[in-house]
Amino acid sequence: MDSYTVLFGVIGDPIRHSKSPVMMNRAFEALGINGSYGAFHVVPEKLGEAIKGIRALGFRGLNVTLPHKVNVMAHLDEIHPGALAAGAVNTIVNEQGRLIGYNTDGIGYVRSLKEEAASNLADSKIVVLGAGGAARGIVWALAQEHPAEIIVANRTEEKARELVATLSAEANLTPIAWSQLQTACQDADVVINTTSIGMAPNVDAVPLDVSWLKPGAVASDLIYNPLKTKFLQQSDERGLVVHGGLGMFIYQGAYAFEYWTGQRAPVEVMVQAVLESFETSFSQ
């Protein structure tokens, strides 16, 4: 670092688990960019002050994670339409003092899904399990790919209906009850788990019976801890195409990196950095 170093960071509460600093600093290093990325523990009462600090110190960019993704919007100068539709911001770009909010979670997920498992989503039938914060951005981004239908199932059915109502102009969306999942999955091309079912420490939990999915379907999970959930292990055993959550994490960061620097993100280097960091934390 020197007096020209450009500053970046991530804010959240908690934040010490974040792999973003390792991933982003390795990306800056790989491209010879004089940038530095830190992790900042910001409690909800200090969110406004933290954003003022970003302005005052002239940070070029910031990632925002739980629980600030919605509340941070009130402190920004402009919100990108994709972030408005998703109802959350996870990336801020400082354009000469104007703070602009983006959401790269949903588009990061779709980029990962298309590169790793399903190159063309047009006219496909997609089932999304869950209607929480992550599901909203993902459904918006999936809708931009012109699928035939997106079905949203959630344990609390009312939340699935709300999500569909807010995004209904974007695509052919249908909310269903959790009990209708088996029928919905039978002819689905892609089934996506956006719930926390199967996340560590509850690694033996599965969101549905994988025998409901048709042969050749894509089984996708947002969870990346563990890297391969029980849902994906069982889908793999059935010969389905499986897609894990690590790619979403990498590509949400890749988009942020590209918005900040104008350069293509070194994705392979970023994957390597995160995997090494996982090995270190698992062995500690």
- Indicate the annotated binding residues: 18-20, 65, 90, 105, 130-134, 154-159, 222, 224, 245, 252
* Strands, sheet with 91-95, edge to edge from the N-terminal-most edge strand: 35-41, 6-12, 61-64, 91-95, 98-102, 78-79
Q: Per rule CB under 6 A, is residue 249 in the interface with ligand NAP?
A: yes
| Binding of residue 182 to ligand NAP (CB under 6 A) | no
Closest listed residue to residue 63, CA positions, set 100, 10, 18: 10
Which CB sits closer to ligand NAP, 6 or 175? 175
CB of 12 to ligand NAP, least distance (A): 12
**Could you give phi then psi for residue 102, rounded to 5 degrees?**
-125, 165
In the complex, least distance from residue 3 CB atom to ligand NAP, rounded to whole angstroms:
34
Q: How far apart are CA 32 and CA 45, in angstroms?
A: 37
- Rule CB under 6 A: say whether 224 interacts with ligand NAP: yes
220 versus 261: smaller Cβ distance to ligand NAP: 220
Catalytic residue flag (residue 69): yes
* Catalytic pick among 69, 125, 228, 230: 69
Under the binding rule (CB under 6 A), the answer on residue 245 touching ligand NAP is yes
Q: Is 64 in the site for ligand NAP (CB under 6 A)?
A: no
Size of the site for ligand NAP (CB under 6 A): 23
Minimum CB distance to ligand NAP smaller for 6 or for 109:
109
- Work out whether 161 is an interface residue with ligand NAP (CB under 6 A): no
Instruction: Kindly identify the residues of this chain, within the stretch 37-56, that bind ligand NAP according to CB under 6 A.
Output: none
Query: Can you spell out the DSSP letters for 13-48?
Result: SS-TT--HHHHHHHHHHHHT--EEEEEEE--GGGHH
Q: Is 195 in the site for ligand NAP (CB under 6 A)?
A: yes
Q: What's 87-125 look like in SS3?
A: CCCCEEEEECCEEEEECCHHHHHHHHHHHHCCCCCCCCE
Nearest distance in Å: CB 78, ligand NAP = 23
CA distances in angstroms from 36 to 22, 42, 156, listed in the order given: 10, 18, 42
Characterize 242-253 residue by residue with b for buried, 16 or more Cβ atoms within 10 angstroms of its Cβ, and e for exposed. Answer: bbbbbbbbbbbb
Pairing of strands 6-12, 61-64: parallel
Segment lying near ligand NAP (by CB under 6 A), choices 40-48, 132-140, 182-190, 266-274: 132-140
Residue 194 interacts with ligand NAP (CB under 6 A): yes or no: yes
Q: Which of 174, 196, 233, 277 binds ligand NAP (CB under 6 A)?
A: 196
Nearer to ligand NAP (CB atom), residue 19 or residue 125: 19
Question: Contact between 132 and ligand NAP (CB under 6 A)?
Answer: yes
CA distance 93 to 239: 42
> What amino acid positions are annotated as catalytic residues?
69
Residues in contact with ligand NAP by CB under 6 A are 105, 130-135, 154-156, 159, 194-197, 199, 222-224, 245, 248-249, 252
